[in-house]
Amino acid sequence: MASLDSVNIRKALTSGVVRQRADDASKALRIRYIGAAGTASINVTVATQVAMIDATASVAYTWANYATMGALADAINASGLWEVKLLDCLRGDVTLNSFKTGGVITSGTDENGVVVWDLVHDNNITSNSSFFATVCLSPFYNFDSPKGHRVHVRQLDYCQNVSAAEAGAVRLYKRKDEDSEILIWSNVSVDSTGGTTVTSHTFASGEGYISGGDNEEFIFRVQDATSITDADGNLVRIVGFIE
């Protein structure tokens, strides 16, 4: 159990955090290279596979063999050459036709300066049983972030052109150790035709919040059984703080 001093220090260092995604911008998987061969790259064929490439080999992970985000992440992590984080997705989300961008993926850097490749999700795919926009609030969103922190959700915002109001289509999940995910809150969706109206949910009139345990993440999702029509003003946003 944490000491009283460590608890007080964590609270004193608490900071606010906002994660927001536009349509077709959810970062389903974040990947880094941990092998020794160098010259790493990633090539996505949206309909069939992802190829993980370094100076010695190109290894393909097909959607036929790894049908879900969780199965794909587990397999790539087991290679010992790459490390994968599940971010703006759920483990059970399908991989088939789910990624927005095909071809060689451009690398970037996370907030800790680590070179990463983000596989971005497409809101509108027929492989899933529903269409959705997703964003994650995590205490270790970036690689090499220290464990033992937790996050709290203060507010949930979205603006999405769903087909119609749908019961239980606005959802908040809690994930622990990238393995166990549970639905902890849901609400009816509100359609925003034209992408102009933001719907917000707070707790206890904005004074309350939903807390995670150490190393637990929250995944906020707006989904629809029929369609989500992309618009420039569409977004999903989760507001909270990390300690």
Question: Could you tell me the residue ranges of all domains in the chain?
Answer: 1-25+124-243, 27-122
pLDDT at 82: 98
| CATH code for the domain defined by 1-25+124-243 | 2.60.120
pLDDT band at residue 125 using 50, 70 and 90 as cut-offs: confident
The pLDDT > 90 percentage for the chain reads 81
pLDDT: which is higher, 9 or 52 = 52
- Determine the pLDDT at residue 6: 54
Q: Are 119 and 202 in contact (CB under 8 A)?
A: no
Q: Is the pLDDT of residue 177 over 70?
A: yes
- When pLDDT is averaged across residues 157-172 and rounded to a whole number, the result is 96
Indicate yes or no: pTM above 0.85.
yes
Q: Is the pLDDT of residue 2 over 60?
A: no
Query: What does the angle CA 125 – CA 116 – CA 95 come to, to the nearest 5 degrees?
Result: 25
Q: Does residue 30 carry a pLDDT above 60? A: yes
Q: Are 26 and 135 in contact (CB under 8 A)?
A: yes
Q: Average pLDDT of the chain?
A: 92
Residue 7: pLDDT over 90: no
